[in-house]
Each structure stands twice: as C-alpha cells, then as structure tokens.
Structure 1
Amino acid sequence: MHAATRAADGDLPAWTFGGFGTVSAVHSTEKLADYTASPLSPGQAGYGKHWAVDVDSRLGAQLGVQLDKRWSAVVQVVSERNVEHNYKPEVEWANVKYRATPDLSLRLGRIALPLYLAADYRKASYALPWVRPPVELYSTMPISNSDGFDASYRWNLAGTKQTTQVFFGRTSIRLSRDFDAKAKRMVGLTQRTTAGALTVQATAANAIFQVPAGGELFDVLSQFGPAGQALAARYDIRSKRVSVFSAGFTYDPGAWFVTGEIGRTNTRSLLGDQTASYLSGGYRFGALTPYATFSAVHANMDVQVAGLPTTGLPPQVAALALQANAVLNDFLREVPTQHAISAGVRWDAGPSHAFKLQLERARPHDGSSGTLTNAQPGYQSGKSFNVISLSADFVF
C-alpha cells in the first residue's frame, strides 16, 4: 500500500505489481495423439484426456520498479505445465532497463525474444483475440526469452514511427525429461514500423543450438560407412546453427482487425526446417469479437527417408540398421506439416476478464504428425481432427 501511494504521488522509486492467468478446457477428436499449444508446455487433449485443462492454463505475475527517470527493472514469473508434467514456476523475464536518451533504451538480463508479433504477451492470453497464438507458427519456435542484452532505438521516417532492436544472448531449455538444450551466441535484429493503425515487423536471428545428450542415434548411424555418416551429419542435433526469420503485420483501426505472420525456422538438424504462416481477422460488436484464422506449417525437408541401405548386410547388422532407420523416421515424423482453420468468439465480460470459445479443424499430412505430440501406434497422418477450446482469461 505504501508503494502504491508513493507511485500515485509521483515519487520514486515507483513500484507496480500485476498478473495474468488463463483457465482452459480443450477437447480433441484425435484419440491417438495429444493436441498441444507448445512442445515445451505439452497438453494432453486427445489421447491423454477427453477434456484437458493443461493445454493453455497458466498463471503469471509481474513486479516492476521505476527507480528514477532512467533506470527501471521488471521480473515476471509464469507457472504452466512443462515437459516434466508439473507446474513449477519459471522466471520468464528479469531485466534492468536503462533509458540512455528519450529514444534509446538498453536492457540487461532475461528478456523476451522479439521473434514474433506477440512476443511480449504470447503467454498473457487476455491480450490475444484468440484462445492461443496460432500453433502452426508459434510452436515452431517455442523459446520465448533469452539471457543477455538488447538495445532499442526509436526514430521517425516519412510520418511513420520506427523501432530498431538488436539483441544478443543465450538460453537453456528442457526439451523432454531426457534432453536439455542450449542456444548460444544468439544474435538478432528486429525492425518495427507503425503508421496509424498499421504495424509491420520483421526479425532475423541466429544461434548455435546444442543438445549434448542427443547423440546416441547419430553415433549408430556413423558406424555404417559414408551413407550413415552423411545421415548423421545431416540430422545430428548436438551442435547446429539455427536461423529464424519472421515478418508480420497488424491492422487494427478499432472496430475490426486483421493480422498475419510468416516465419521460417531452420535448425539444420532432426529438429526440422519449417515455414509457417497464418492470417486472421475479426470484428468487434460491443463486448463480442468473432474471429477466424487460417494457418499452415510446411516442412522444407522430407519427414520420411529411406535411411540406411540394408542390402548385403549380415542379419544382425541389418536388424540394427532397420532399427536406426525406424528411430530416425519416428523423430522426422514430428517435424510438423499441417494446415488448420479455426473460428471463435471472444466475450469481454468485464474490464479485466474475457471468455473465449474456439473451434478448430486441422489436418497433418505428408506423413507428419503435425503439431500433435505423444502419437501412439496406429496413428495415421492425413486424417483431419477437430478441437474445441474454452477459456477464461483475466488480468489483475
């Protein structure tokens, strides 16, 4: 209360505290795999549960302080389901900001990665028109922050507002219970242009992505001469350069909106090379906002390969080669190729909470399991499935 009073009086330091959350329920008609919004926050709608509450449900809190006219700091903590199947809170942001000039700002610490339009609020679903960002694009690069430094400079050009941001950093993530990954030497550039109701943004970034414990398959492949060594070099995930490019726009004059993005994520490894995009629009009728979205992701690589040749190999060696081929193709099947169409409605029931209903029809193809996870024996690519999502979003 004392901090709030001091902030209201204009004294410094001025503290702010707030938060956001989502409670959701999701049903998928695909019973041999699970629908999920992010591979780092896997849900269980479909095979796991008839109705799942873990696809989008999360809680976040943010503490900020304005120390003086130049210095400020922020910490944001988010709790959502992770790959270890618990809701352990994680620090999403934790950085110090220095405003060197009215137009130049520098930040140091854990910072949101500006890879997509919704980078700053992708987990605060109240700020989104949809239940969740289109998974076909946003699940291809689920990393949302980095530990490092960024600089943002604001400038004007021909009546437009420009913001140029450069960032450097690194991050560590848990891919599964068995695999940890690191993104090192991350560097990127984001350019944002605003002209009235139109915002356009483009980002290019590179990093060295490493999965140190993920080498068993590639060691086996390398034992099979030049053919195996070529497969290992192509798909090895232990250390590869990853590049991301994205571009998007939002036009929102108030009564309606249209927004779209396209992005390519190339890991140069088993983790995939994908191009994804979406286009979405909606109209606001008072407290109700109906909307529709078309989204797609395409693998710029084969998601099924012949693998190691087995002709002429001794039976035991051939059996090992066939097993390695099967494991390789199981992983490649997880590189998403899918298109989807969705429609929904948002009801702003009050100034700090909203309810949403979203219906989606998606179809993985080309042998891929799309954005689904936990595919079971008997799963067939090429079959459409439906998703029903109900959510309540709130801020405080």
Structure 2
Amino acid sequence: MFKHCAYGTAGLLALTLSANALADDPTPDAKPSILTLSGFGTVGAVQTNTDDGVYTTGFQRHGATKTSDFGPDTKAGAQVDAKFNSDFSATLQVFSKQNAKGSYAPAMEWAFGKLKVNDAFNVRVGRIGAPLFMTSDFRNVGYTNLTVRTPVDVYGLVPVRSFDGADVLYSGSFGNTTINGQVWGGKASTLIGGSGENDNIVLLKNIIGINVTLENGPFTVRIGSNKSHLGTDGTGLIPFNTLLGGLHAFSAAPGLSQLGSIADQLSVNGKFASFTGIGATFDSGNWVASAEAVERRTSSTYVSNASAWYTTLGYRIDKFTPYVSFSGRHIKSATSVAQVPVSPLLPPVVQGTVPVLIAGVNGLLRDTSEKTSALGVRWDAGKNYDIKAEVQKLTIPSGSDGALNQVTGHPPVGNTNLFSLAVDFVF
C-alpha cells in the first residue's frame, strides 16, 4: 500500500487511512470498530570518520563517532484512533526516541480530539503535531520518508514536535487544485539538555501560525509561518541565569555598561521568535523530488537567526529507489562577542571576572553552519518495511561545529563522513 505513495504528502494520507480503515469501511457483516491501532518504528545505526565530535540528529546526549551508534535514528511509536461517530474522533500517540538526557522514555506525542464542523472545516484541541515543516505530521515515521532521516540542517532548527493548543483545518478546491489550510495556536516546550534531575527546557509561548498547502496532480506546494515568544524552564539552566546575573552585576562598574547590553541580548525569556518555511514535492511515475527552505528569526542571541534548505531527488527502479540529497544551514547571528576593555583602576576581582564572563558568553554562541550532501538507496524489501543505506558528507566551515556535539578541541574543518543503515516499518 505504501510503495507507490510514500515519500511525499500522500505518505501521510496512507498512514492515516491505514489506521482508520476499519472504522470508516466496515464490512456488511461487521460492526464499525471504534478503536484502531497503528504503529511505526526505525532501527538505525550511524558511524562517522571522526572522534573529535559526536553526531546526533538534534538535542541528544549520545551519538555516533568512529564507533557506530543506534541512538540518533532508532525510534518507535504507537497510535490509537477512536472514532465515536461521523463528527467526532480522538487520537493518542506515544513516541520513544533518545532525548537530550539520553533517555528513551516514551512520551505523549499526540493527544487530541477532532470535531468535524462541516465538509470543509475541522477543529482539533489537545496535544497536536507542531506543523512547522512540510513533513511535520509524519517526520517521525521513517517509512513515509525517502531518506534515512529528515535533513538535520533544516529540521534541527526547531526541535519541537508537538504543541498544546488548538487548530482549525480547512479543505477545499479551486478547479483542479486542492487547497488545505491550517490556523493554529498554543504553546510548546522542548528539552535541550540536562542530567539527573536537572532539565534545560526552551519554551515557545503564545504561538500563532498559519499554513497553506496546494495540491495539483503530482505537485504539492506548502507555505507556513508562525510567531511566538521564547521562555526557559528547568534547574539545569541555573548556570545560564547565573551568567546573566553576573553580567548585569558587573555592568554597574565604571565603563562596563556594555555587559548589561550583552546580557539583555543573550536573555531568552519573553523574546520574540518567528519561523517561516516554503516547500514543494513532486511525485510522478518513477520520479520523486522534494525541496524546502526555512528561516528562523529571534531577538535573542542565544537562539540565533538562521536559514536552511534542502533538496532531494529519487528515481524508483522496481523495489529500489536510489536518491541524492543536498542541504545547508547558515547561522546569521554573531557567534562571538569581543572582550570588553576593563580599566586597570578597577578592583582586581573585576579585572579577573569580566574575561571569564565573556568567555562564558562565547561558550554559548555556537556556530552550527554546514552543508551536507548524501547518496543513498531505499529498498522496499517487504510488506510495510524498508531497508535504507546512505553515505553523507558534512562540509563544516572554519569556526563552526556543524552537526557535531561534545566537540573536543575543534572538529576537522572540511569534510566529515557519515555511514548510515536503517530499517523502517509500519503496522
């Protein structure tokens, strides 16, 4: 069922329909099923050619080096759909993937009710997949994606998978073009670090967004934009808040008012953020292609301004689909601040502490710019599962860590190679 409709927008429809088929199309002799169960997962291993940094697909504690690791890509999810009548349904999804603390503890990914208002409008309330990217609703379902993983250069810019709130969905048509619209709002949070009982959490508050998707034959185009305010939470951010307090405290010294400005720019709470993206897919015959470009803007130097893009092209040959993919990420904000001159007339404690504070700021302002090229193949080896192999080259510019974490010294400037193998399945 998925073989000819995977990889694009239709992949989401296929997964949704498979989960609700019994509820929507009972046989004449059977009663409609209220509850249906579906699931998905990926078992994947990745290895790099360097021990100078750890490769992850986002905010994860463990990842790949010259020693292969299953942590970046392995994941699993289960979904229950309940259809109470023709107008009201509910969905619950539990998802497990390594998080920033190294845990695979299952989390409630989706939990929402859906009301059909009429043939054109639906309303959902609860925890809903955050529609930030073109493949947001099924980015976790490896089977519906052509490549081993969604491009980290792009999808790593906003590592939020769901939000708590509501949305209004519209579906209509204009001639031969299908129009799908979405207005959504609420709040979200994501774990970006921590250990033990300490959590580092970034919040998105007062989110309001709109998305429009146009489908005509083999072409799909999507445009989306949202705005929010940033926040932080968790005891793991105590050192960060202590740094801000130190900058403000020492800014009262003669000639050091600049430290206060640095602290204000670095602070996160209440700062404005926006995210905009445009994407397109083409799926016809043997050819499948997709492309997406996004931009993140904030008023905090801690969460940098950035742009990213990717393009992927594949060609189906029976059960095999070889593909190439290219992507890039560019950090637009300053990734360092200059040392602030300190008068020799100030107390020694001030002269010694200010350079330490500036070093602390520069330790937070990471540059993750990079370009990625990939060559891979997908093999639809059996019913509802595939096997993928992929080789990637990360081109990391001078001064950037790229997609590498826990960098020792500095990652090699130039190329870092990745080798990935994954098995995706759905049921």
**TM class, shorter-chain normalised?**
over 0.9
Correspondence 1:146-225 to 2 at 5 A: 146-177=163-194, 178-212=199-233, 213=237, 214-222=240-248, 223-224=250-251, 225=256
Q: CA deviation at 1:239?
A: 2.8
Task: Tell me if structure 2 keeps the 8 A contact 1:367–1:381.
Answer: no
Task: Tell me if structure 2 keeps the 8 A contact 1:108–1:150.
Answer: yes
Task: Output the amino acid matched with 1:344.
Answer: G
Task: Output the amino acid matched with 2:274.
Answer: S
Q: CA deviation at 1:325?
A: 1.6
Task: Tell me if structure 2 keeps the 8 A contact 1:211–1:239.
Answer: no
SS at match of 2:265: helix
Task: Tell me if structure 2 keeps the 8 A contact 1:274–1:297.
Answer: yes
1:301 aligned to 333, 337, 346, which one? 333
Name the CA shift for 1:42/1:7 in 2 (closer, same or farther; >3 Å): farther
Correspondence 1:212-291 to 2 at 5 A: 212=233, 213=237, 214-222=240-248, 223-224=250-251, 225-269=256-300, 270-291=302-323
Deviation larger for 6-15 or 171-180: 6-15
Task: Output the amino acid matched with 2:69.
Answer: A
Name the CA shift for 1:285/1:234 in 2 (closer, same or farther; >3 Å): same
Name the CA shift for 1:157/1:342 in 2 (closer, same or farther; >3 Å): same
SS at match of 1:320: helix
Name the CA shift for 1:4/1:296 in 2 (closer, same or farther; >3 Å): closer
User: Is the aligned partner of 1:355 residue 2:381?
Assistant: no
2:44 and 2:380 map into 1 onto residues whose CA distance is 16
1:133 and 1:4 map into 2 onto residues whose CA distance is 30
SS at match of 2:102: coil
Deviation larger for 323-332 or 217-226: 217-226
Task: Output the amino acid matched with 2:101.
Answer: E
Task: Output the amino acid matched with 1:61.
Answer: A
Task: Tell me if structure 2 keeps the 8 A contact 1:365–1:381.
Answer: no
Aligned residues: 389
User: Is the aligned partner of 1:136 residue 2:153?
Assistant: yes
Task: Output the amino acid matched with 2:139.
Answer: R
Name the CA shift for 1:348/1:43 in 2 (closer, same or farther; >3 Å): farther
Task: Output the amino acid matched with 1:327.
Answer: G
Task: Output the amino acid matched with 1:348.
Answer: D
Deviation larger for 253-262 or 290-299: 253-262
1:311 and 1:99 map into 2 onto residues whose CA distance is 68
Name the CA shift for 1:186/1:203 in 2 (closer, same or farther; >3 Å): same
SS at match of 1:164: strand
1:121 and 1:90 map into 2 onto residues whose CA distance is 16
Deviation larger for 133-142 or 268-277: 268-277
Name the CA shift for 1:149/1:307 in 2 (closer, same or farther; >3 Å): farther
1:129 and 1:17 map into 2 onto residues whose CA distance is 24
Q: CA deviation at 1:321?
A: 1.6
Task: Give the structure 1 partner of residue 108 of structure 2.
Answer: 91
Q: CA deviation at 1:215?
A: 1.9
CA RMSD of aligned residues (A): 1.9
**Length-normalised TM-score, structure 1:** 0.94
Task: Tell me if structure 1 keeps the 8 A contact 2:53–2:411.
Answer: no
1:389 and 1:6 map into 2 onto residues whose CA distance is 39
Deviation larger for 126-135 or 308-317: 308-317
1:5-61 CA-to-partner distances (Å, cap 9, x unmatched) read 99734644532101011111110112111111112x444101xx6010101001110
Correspondence 1:319-334 to 2 at 5 A: 319-333=352-366
User: Is the aligned partner of 1:392 residue 2:419?
Assistant: no
1:145 aligned to 138, 158, 162, which one? 162
Name the CA shift for 1:27/1:380 in 2 (closer, same or farther; >3 Å): closer
1:74 and 1:343 map into 2 onto residues whose CA distance is 36
Task: Tell me if structure 2 keeps the 8 A contact 1:337–1:366.
Answer: no
1:158-196 CA-to-partner distances (Å, cap 9, x unmatched) read 421111100011123222114123211111000101011
SS at match of 2:352: helix
**Length-normalised TM-score, structure 2:** 0.87
Task: Output the amino acid matched with 1:144.
Answer: R
Task: Output the amino acid matched with 2:425.
Answer: F
Identity across matched positions, percent: 29
Task: Output the amino acid matched with 2:83.
Answer: Q
Task: Give the structure 2 partner of residue 54 of structure 1.
Answer: 71
Residue ranges of structure 2 left out of the alignment (5+ in a row): 1-20
1:345-389 CA-to-partner distances (Å, cap 9, x unmatched) read 00000121100001000022241212221112x224633200001
2:26 aligned to 2, 5, 8, which one? 8
Task: Output the amino acid matched with 1:175.
Answer: I
2:62 and 2:147 map into 1 onto residues whose CA distance is 18
Residue ranges of structure 1 left out of the alignment (5+ in a row): none
Name the CA shift for 1:384/1:157 in 2 (closer, same or farther; >3 Å): same
Task: Give the structure 2 partner of residue 31 of structure 1.
Answer: 51
Task: Output the amino acid matched with 1:330.
Answer: G
2:412 and 2:305 map into 1 onto residues whose CA distance is 19
1:258-312 CA-to-partner distances (Å, cap 9, x unmatched) read 1100001123221211100011101000110011111000011121221433453
1:323 and 1:226 map into 2 onto residues whose CA distance is 16
Task: Tell me if structure 1 keeps the 8 A contact 2:296–2:307.
Answer: yes
Name the CA shift for 1:307/1:239 in 2 (closer, same or farther; >3 Å): farther
2:174 and 2:142 map into 1 onto residues whose CA distance is 32
1:316 and 1:365 map into 2 onto residues whose CA distance is 37
SS at match of 1:167: strand
